[in-house]
Amino acid sequence: MNTVTENPTHDLVVLDMAGTTVADGGLVERAFTAAAERLGEDPATMIDYVRATMGESKISVFRHLFGGDETRAKEANAAFETAYGELVDGGLIAPLPGAAEAIAQLKEQGRTVVLTTGFARVTQDAILDALGWRDLVELTLCPADAGGRGRPYPDMVLAAFLRTAAVDDVRRIVVAGDTSYDMLSGVRSGAGIVAGVLTGAHDRAALRQHGATHVLASVAELPTLIQESEA
């Protein structure tokens, strides 16, 4: 019978971007407001749902808001991506304190790091370019890279597992994020460590409620947490 060691190494780390490793200064809400106004919609009637679903694939959010109208959802998503890209190009984005250093430390520990997002590829690439992070990690994933389903589905985490072949057991995966949807995707993937961070959308109670095994002040604490779990 195949077994795993009592304290296995966690050599695949899947990190969310906005709110976890990247400070976007509320750009999601600003881009959503701009997108709604471009489509002639009142953003005030929708913003609470947008806040509650931070971390979910944006096209899924728009499908819900427009009652399953795929054409309207795609129009809204395109307007959102355009607005967000314009804000990113304006320099309103930065790494969260300690994030780049934490990623470097994880890599020095011999771990493979993957960055994931609920944004479309064009927006993810704009963020990576703005930060100078194109070569920071081995792999970056958006929902389209994992069959089109974003969080709370586990697809991006499992795509990282399959594409990197960094570990041979999903229990050796670490998932970290700032939203309930990040936690759900980590739990559903079978990841051994699902760490919530308090630098983004959701609070400690929400992260715990949705399956966080640990809650950290920031992603800067993650390398130490993983090492301690392996001791």
- Are the C-beta atoms of 70 and 60 separated by less than 8 Å? no
Average pLDDT over residues 198-206: 92
Residue with the two structure tokens 């990841």:
191
C-alpha distance across the termini of the chain, in Å: 25
Average pLDDT over residues 109-132: 92
Average pLDDT over residues 12-20: 95
- pLDDT bracket for residue 6 (50, 70, 90): low
- Are the C-beta atoms of 173 and 192 separated by less than 8 Å? yes
Q: 216 CB contacts (<8 Å, ≥6 apart)?
A: 176, 195, 196, 197, 198, 222, 225
Q: What is the pLDDT of residue 211?
A: 96
Cβ–Cβ contacts within 10 Å for residue 162, how many? 9
Q: How far is CA 202 from CA 64, 75, 119, 178, 198, in A?
A: 20, 28, 18, 6, 7
- Are the C-beta atoms of 145 and 154 separated by less than 8 Å? no
**Residue 130: pLDDT over 70:** yes
- pLDDT bracket for residue 7 (50, 70, 90): low
Q: Percentage of residues in the chain with pLDDT exceeding 70?
A: 97
